[in-house]
Amino acid sequence: MTSAVLALGRTEWKLLSRNKAVLLSATTVPLLLGFALANHIPDGAGPLAWAGALGMQLLAVQGFTVYFTTTATLASRREDRYLKRLRSGEVSDAVVLGGLLLPVVLLGLAQTAVVIAIAFAMGAPTPVNPLPLVLAVLLGTAMFLAAGAATSAWTASSEQAQITTMPWFMVLIGGAVWLSMSAEVAPQMYLVPSSGVMDLARAAMTGASALDVLPALGSLLGWTALLALLSRTWFRWEPRA
Protein backbone atom coordinates (compact mmCIF):
# COMPACT_ATOMS: atom_id res chain seq x y z
CA MET A 1 0.00 0.00 0.00
CA THR A 2 1.65 3.21 -1.14
CA SER A 3 1.80 6.51 0.71
CA ALA A 4 -0.34 8.07 -2.03
CA VAL A 5 -3.14 5.56 -1.37
CA LEU A 6 -2.97 6.25 2.37
CA ALA A 7 -2.97 10.02 1.84
CA LEU A 8 -5.97 9.83 -0.47
CA GLY A 9 -7.68 7.48 1.97
CA ARG A 10 -7.28 9.93 4.86
CA THR A 11 -8.65 12.77 2.75
CA GLU A 12 -11.57 10.66 1.56
CA TRP A 13 -12.46 9.67 5.11
CA LYS A 14 -12.73 13.35 6.05
CA LEU A 15 -14.99 13.98 3.06
CA LEU A 16 -17.06 10.90 3.79
CA SER A 17 -17.56 11.83 7.43
CA ARG A 18 -19.07 15.16 6.38
CA ASN A 19 -21.86 13.48 4.40
CA LYS A 20 -24.18 12.53 7.24
CA ALA A 21 -26.68 10.64 5.07
CA VAL A 22 -24.04 8.37 3.54
CA LEU A 23 -22.23 7.92 6.85
CA LEU A 24 -25.50 6.96 8.55
CA SER A 25 -26.25 4.36 5.87
CA ALA A 26 -22.71 2.99 6.16
CA THR A 27 -22.65 2.67 9.94
CA THR A 28 -25.93 2.75 11.84
CA VAL A 29 -28.13 0.82 9.38
CA PRO A 30 -25.90 -2.31 9.13
CA LEU A 31 -25.46 -2.44 12.90
CA LEU A 32 -29.20 -2.14 13.55
CA LEU A 33 -29.93 -4.82 10.96
CA GLY A 34 -27.20 -7.02 12.41
CA PHE A 35 -28.72 -6.75 15.89
CA ALA A 36 -32.26 -7.33 14.60
CA LEU A 37 -31.26 -10.43 12.62
CA ALA A 38 -29.40 -11.94 15.57
CA ASN A 39 -32.19 -11.07 17.99
CA HIS A 40 -34.68 -12.86 15.72
CA ILE A 41 -32.99 -16.24 16.28
CA PRO A 42 -34.68 -18.16 19.14
CA ASP A 43 -32.74 -19.60 22.07
CA GLY A 44 -31.29 -23.02 21.40
CA ALA A 45 -31.36 -22.62 17.62
CA GLY A 46 -28.96 -24.81 15.68
CA PRO A 47 -26.07 -23.92 13.37
CA LEU A 48 -28.28 -23.73 10.26
CA ALA A 49 -30.47 -21.03 11.75
CA TRP A 50 -27.46 -19.01 12.82
CA ALA A 51 -25.81 -19.56 9.45
CA GLY A 52 -28.76 -17.86 7.75
CA ALA A 53 -28.67 -14.95 10.19
CA LEU A 54 -24.90 -14.60 9.88
CA GLY A 55 -25.07 -14.64 6.08
CA MET A 56 -27.71 -11.91 6.10
CA GLN A 57 -25.64 -9.87 8.56
CA LEU A 58 -22.69 -10.01 6.18
CA LEU A 59 -24.89 -9.01 3.25
CA ALA A 60 -26.29 -6.08 5.25
CA VAL A 61 -22.79 -4.74 5.88
CA GLN A 62 -21.59 -5.42 2.36
CA GLY A 63 -24.75 -3.93 0.89
CA PHE A 64 -24.96 -0.71 2.89
CA THR A 65 -21.39 -0.08 4.05
CA VAL A 66 -19.56 -1.25 0.93
CA TYR A 67 -21.93 -1.18 -2.06
CA PHE A 68 -24.04 1.88 -1.28
CA THR A 69 -21.10 3.91 0.01
CA THR A 70 -18.94 3.03 -2.99
CA THR A 71 -21.71 4.05 -5.37
CA ALA A 72 -22.44 7.33 -3.59
CA THR A 73 -18.77 8.20 -3.09
CA LEU A 74 -17.64 7.65 -6.67
CA ALA A 75 -20.69 9.41 -8.10
CA SER A 76 -20.22 12.42 -5.84
CA ARG A 77 -16.48 12.70 -6.47
CA ARG A 78 -17.03 12.44 -10.20
CA GLU A 79 -19.74 15.08 -10.36
CA ASP A 80 -17.74 17.64 -8.38
CA ARG A 81 -14.78 16.95 -10.71
CA TYR A 82 -12.63 15.64 -7.87
CA LEU A 83 -11.94 12.44 -9.83
CA LYS A 84 -10.90 14.47 -12.86
CA ARG A 85 -8.49 16.58 -10.79
CA LEU A 86 -6.95 13.53 -9.17
CA ARG A 87 -6.55 11.80 -12.51
CA SER A 88 -4.72 14.81 -13.94
CA GLY A 89 -1.95 14.36 -11.38
CA GLU A 90 0.96 11.95 -11.32
CA VAL A 91 -0.76 9.02 -9.62
CA SER A 92 -2.27 6.16 -11.61
CA ASP A 93 -5.96 5.39 -11.94
CA ALA A 94 -5.54 2.36 -9.67
CA VAL A 95 -4.00 4.52 -6.93
CA VAL A 96 -6.82 7.07 -7.21
CA LEU A 97 -9.52 4.43 -6.89
CA GLY A 98 -7.59 2.58 -4.20
CA GLY A 99 -7.28 5.71 -2.10
CA LEU A 100 -10.93 6.67 -2.51
CA LEU A 101 -12.19 3.20 -1.64
CA LEU A 102 -9.76 2.42 1.18
CA PRO A 103 -11.99 3.97 3.89
CA VAL A 104 -14.98 2.05 2.51
CA VAL A 105 -13.11 -1.26 2.72
CA LEU A 106 -11.77 -0.62 6.22
CA LEU A 107 -15.15 0.54 7.46
CA GLY A 108 -16.80 -2.53 5.94
CA LEU A 109 -14.33 -4.90 7.60
CA ALA A 110 -14.76 -3.14 10.95
CA GLN A 111 -18.54 -3.32 10.66
CA THR A 112 -18.30 -7.00 9.76
CA ALA A 113 -16.27 -7.72 12.89
CA VAL A 114 -18.88 -5.91 14.98
CA VAL A 115 -21.92 -7.74 13.56
CA ILE A 116 -20.17 -11.12 13.89
CA ALA A 117 -19.35 -10.25 17.51
CA ILE A 118 -23.01 -9.34 18.04
CA ALA A 119 -24.08 -12.74 16.70
CA PHE A 120 -21.67 -14.61 18.98
CA ALA A 121 -22.65 -12.49 21.99
CA MET A 122 -26.31 -13.36 21.37
CA GLY A 123 -25.74 -17.10 21.27
CA ALA A 124 -24.34 -18.08 17.86
CA PRO A 125 -22.15 -21.19 18.05
CA THR A 126 -18.48 -21.00 17.10
CA PRO A 127 -17.96 -21.79 13.38
CA VAL A 128 -16.81 -25.35 12.79
CA ASN A 129 -14.55 -24.07 10.00
CA PRO A 130 -13.87 -20.30 10.05
CA LEU A 131 -12.17 -20.25 6.62
CA PRO A 132 -15.39 -20.14 4.53
CA LEU A 133 -16.57 -17.24 6.70
CA VAL A 134 -13.34 -15.34 6.03
CA LEU A 135 -13.74 -16.02 2.30
CA ALA A 136 -17.34 -14.78 2.43
CA VAL A 137 -16.13 -11.52 3.96
CA LEU A 138 -13.21 -10.92 1.60
CA LEU A 139 -14.79 -12.10 -1.67
CA GLY A 140 -18.12 -10.53 -0.81
CA THR A 141 -16.42 -7.20 -0.16
CA ALA A 142 -14.64 -7.40 -3.52
CA MET A 143 -17.89 -8.21 -5.31
CA PHE A 144 -19.74 -5.30 -3.72
CA LEU A 145 -16.91 -2.89 -4.50
CA ALA A 146 -17.11 -3.87 -8.16
CA ALA A 147 -20.91 -3.57 -8.08
CA GLY A 148 -20.67 -0.10 -6.55
CA ALA A 149 -18.17 1.07 -9.16
CA ALA A 150 -20.44 -0.20 -11.93
CA THR A 151 -23.56 1.40 -10.44
CA SER A 152 -21.81 4.74 -9.93
CA ALA A 153 -21.63 5.15 -13.72
CA TRP A 154 -25.44 5.47 -13.75
CA THR A 155 -25.66 7.63 -10.64
CA ALA A 156 -25.65 11.42 -10.95
CA SER A 157 -25.18 12.24 -7.25
CA SER A 158 -24.83 10.69 -3.81
CA GLU A 159 -28.53 11.39 -3.23
CA GLN A 160 -29.52 9.54 -6.41
CA ALA A 161 -27.60 6.50 -5.17
CA GLN A 162 -30.63 5.72 -2.99
CA ILE A 163 -32.53 5.03 -6.23
CA THR A 164 -29.90 3.48 -8.50
CA THR A 165 -28.83 0.93 -5.86
CA MET A 166 -32.36 -0.37 -5.27
CA PRO A 167 -32.39 -3.02 -8.07
CA TRP A 168 -29.23 -4.65 -6.71
CA PHE A 169 -30.62 -4.57 -3.16
CA MET A 170 -33.84 -6.22 -4.31
CA VAL A 171 -31.89 -9.02 -6.00
CA LEU A 172 -29.77 -9.51 -2.88
CA ILE A 173 -32.73 -9.61 -0.52
CA GLY A 174 -34.68 -11.98 -2.75
CA GLY A 175 -31.72 -14.30 -3.12
CA ALA A 176 -30.94 -14.28 0.61
CA VAL A 177 -34.54 -15.10 1.53
CA TRP A 178 -34.64 -17.83 -1.13
CA LEU A 179 -31.55 -19.52 0.27
CA SER A 180 -32.51 -19.10 3.92
CA MET A 181 -35.85 -20.85 3.30
CA SER A 182 -34.23 -23.81 1.51
CA ALA A 183 -32.80 -26.82 3.29
CA GLU A 184 -30.37 -27.39 0.41
CA VAL A 185 -28.81 -25.07 -2.15
CA ALA A 186 -30.07 -25.87 -5.65
CA PRO A 187 -27.66 -25.26 -8.56
CA GLN A 188 -29.76 -22.41 -9.98
CA MET A 189 -29.42 -20.53 -6.70
CA TYR A 190 -25.76 -19.87 -7.44
CA LEU A 191 -26.87 -17.57 -10.25
CA VAL A 192 -27.95 -15.07 -7.58
CA PRO A 193 -25.09 -12.86 -6.28
CA SER A 194 -26.03 -13.26 -2.61
CA SER A 195 -25.88 -17.06 -2.78
CA GLY A 196 -22.11 -17.25 -2.43
CA VAL A 197 -22.00 -15.29 0.82
CA MET A 198 -24.98 -17.16 2.29
CA ASP A 199 -23.63 -20.58 1.34
CA LEU A 200 -20.14 -19.86 2.68
CA ALA A 201 -21.66 -18.75 5.98
CA ARG A 202 -23.59 -22.01 6.06
CA ALA A 203 -20.42 -23.98 5.28
CA ALA A 204 -18.55 -22.24 8.11
CA MET A 205 -21.23 -23.05 10.69
CA THR A 206 -21.84 -26.66 9.59
CA GLY A 207 -18.27 -27.65 8.71
CA ALA A 208 -18.86 -28.45 5.04
CA SER A 209 -15.99 -29.94 3.07
CA ALA A 210 -13.73 -27.99 0.73
CA LEU A 211 -15.48 -29.60 -2.25
CA ASP A 212 -18.86 -28.42 -1.02
CA VAL A 213 -17.84 -24.75 -1.00
CA LEU A 214 -16.53 -24.72 -4.58
CA PRO A 215 -19.90 -23.71 -6.13
CA ALA A 216 -20.19 -20.79 -3.70
CA LEU A 217 -16.65 -19.68 -4.48
CA GLY A 218 -17.32 -20.01 -8.19
CA SER A 219 -20.47 -17.90 -7.86
CA LEU A 220 -18.68 -15.12 -5.97
CA LEU A 221 -15.67 -15.10 -8.28
CA GLY A 222 -17.88 -15.18 -11.37
CA TRP A 223 -20.05 -12.28 -10.19
CA THR A 224 -16.97 -10.30 -9.14
CA ALA A 225 -15.33 -10.79 -12.54
CA LEU A 226 -18.53 -9.83 -14.38
CA LEU A 227 -19.08 -6.72 -12.26
CA ALA A 228 -15.43 -5.72 -12.57
CA LEU A 229 -15.75 -5.96 -16.35
CA LEU A 230 -18.93 -3.87 -16.29
CA SER A 231 -17.37 -1.26 -14.02
CA ARG A 232 -14.33 -1.05 -16.29
CA THR A 233 -16.61 -0.61 -19.32
CA TRP A 234 -19.09 1.81 -17.77
CA PHE A 235 -16.96 3.78 -15.30
CA ARG A 236 -16.92 7.55 -15.87
CA TRP A 237 -14.19 9.97 -14.81
CA GLU A 238 -15.98 12.99 -16.23
CA PRO A 239 -19.26 14.43 -14.89
CA ARG A 240 -22.40 13.08 -16.52
CA ALA A 241 -23.93 15.33 -19.17
CB 39: neighbour CB atoms within 10 A? 11
Q: Find all residues with CB under 8 Å of 219, minimum gap 6, and list them.
A: 190, 191, 192, 193, 195, 196, 199
CB 119 within 8 A of CB 52: no
CA distance 170 to 152: 17
Q: Can you tell me the mean pLDDT for 16-31?
A: 78
Q: Is the pLDDT of residue 140 over 90?
A: yes
Whether 240 is covered by a domain: the verdict is: no
Q: Can you tell me the mean pLDDT for 72-78?
A: 93
| Full residue range of the structural domain in which residue 125 is found | 3-234
Helix 47-60 crosses helix 166-180 at what angle (to 10 degrees)? Answer: 180
Q: Is the pLDDT of residue 1 over 80?
A: no
Whether 241 is covered by a domain: the verdict is: no
CB 39 within 8 A of CB 69: no
- Mean of per-residue pLDDT scores for the chain: 89
Q: Is the pLDDT of residue 186 over 90?
A: no
pLDDT tens digits for 111-130?
999 999 988 988 889 999 99
Predicted pLDDT of residue 241? 63
Q: Can you tell me the mean pLDDT for 14-22?
A: 79
Number of domains in the chain: 1
What's the pTM value of the predicted model, to 2 decimals? 0.93
Predicted pLDDT of residue 209? 86
Whether 142 is covered by a domain: the verdict is: yes
Whether 239 is covered by a domain: the verdict is: no
- Supply the DSSP string of 190-219, one letter for each residue: GGSTTHHHHHHHHHHHHT--TTTTHHHHHH
Whether 76 is covered by a domain: the verdict is: yes
pLDDT tens digits for 83-113?
988 888 778 888 999 999 999 999 999 999 9
Residue 68: DSSP 8-state:
I
